[in-house]
Each structure stands twice: as structure tokens, then as C-alpha cells.
Amino acid sequence: MLIDLAHFTPGLSLTGGLVIGLAAAVLVQANGRIAGISGIFGGLLSWPRNDIGWRIAFLAGLIGAPVMASLAGMPATADIEAGWSEILVAGFLVGIGTRYASGCTSGHGVCGLSRGSIRSLAATATFMAAGFLTVFVQRHMIGG
């Protein structure tokens, strides 16, 4: 196995993981709510809602953090080797998956597993296996 030391950032990764865990813990302690992004966003689409403020604040933080990092001279960059049509199809499929799984990677993988949820364990194992299989097929069978 080869580690790309130029992009190996264990300190930043650990810090990011700790901040995500802290945010999830604060949300569940303060609001009794799980920090699942699909549920938070989906809750904005259901009217009337009396809990719109914290949902907007949470999503604003997700969008605002990389904007603030970029303004501080630390832009987040991604090299996505796909066109817009592929990205839109992938996003649509992820949306369908989150509806069938009753949650997304953040809800099941971060919050559900930490609560010992068997349903979240099954969901996380399923979407991780699907991701591994997709990468394998793309790199070894299609010729990526």
C-alpha cells in the first residue's frame, strides 16, 4: 500500500472528526435531534415547521465553513472526474437511497452507530459495500 504523504492529513482529519462528533453530540443534547443531513434538509421541505431555525443554522454552517476557509486562504478543492450529467444522476440515486434507508451516511454512520443502532449498522454496511463495489467496478472492470 502506498500512502500519498503530500495529501496525508491525519491531524486535520482527526480535528474534523472531533468537530463533527462534537456538533452531533451538541445537537442531540440541546435539541434531542440526530445530525442526519438528509433528515435536517428534508425537514425544511415539510410545512408547517416550528423548528426551522436550527435546521437553517445547521445547513448554513455546512455551507459557510468551506466559504470561510476559502476566505482565510485555505480553499477546499476537489478533483471530480465526472461531468454534470453523471453528478446529477449520482445525486438523484443518493437521494433515493437516503429515502429507502430512512437516513444518510451522517445520520446512520456517525450518529446511528454511536447509539448502537442495528438498523444503522445494516445501512452503513450496505452503503459502504455499494461504494466499495462501485469503485472496484469503475477502476478494474470499466477501466477508469
For residue 123, give the nearest of 96, 105, 99 by alpha carbon. 105
- Residues 17-43 have a mean pLDDT of 88
Domain total in the chain:
2
pLDDT at 144: 56
Query: Does residue 144 share a domain with residue 84?
Result: yes
Which one of 35, 50, 77 terminates a domain?
Answer: 77
Residue 1 pLDDT greater than 70, yes or no? no
Length of the chain: 144
Domain annotation covers residue 1 = no
Domain annotation covers residue 2 = no
Query: Does residue 14 share a domain with residue 73?
Result: yes
* pTM for the whole structure: 0.72
Tell me if residue 130 falls in helix, strand or coil.
Answer: helix
Tell me if residue 102 falls in helix, strand or coil.
Answer: coil
Domain annotation covers residue 93 = yes
Amino acid residing at 52 = I
pLDDT digits 0-9 by tens, 76-132: 777 788 889 999 998 898 888 888 888 888 889 888 998 899 999 999 999 899 889
pLDDT at 22: 92
Lowest mean pLDDT among 39-43, 48-52, 94-98, 128-132: 48-52
Residues 51 and 43: beta-carbon distance below 8 Å: yes
Amino acid residing at 138 = Q
- Residues 33-49 have a mean pLDDT of 84
Query: Does residue 73 share a domain with residue 16?
Result: yes
Residue 134 pLDDT greater than 90, yes or no? no
In the chain, which ranges are continuous DSSP H helix?
Answer: 10-31, 37-44, 52-71, 84-100, 113-114, 118-136
pLDDT at 7: 75
Domain residue limits at 42: 9-77
pLDDT at 95: 84
Distance (Å, whole) CA 140 – CA 135 = 8
Amino acid residing at 50 = N
Distance (Å, whole) CA 22 – CA 114 = 12
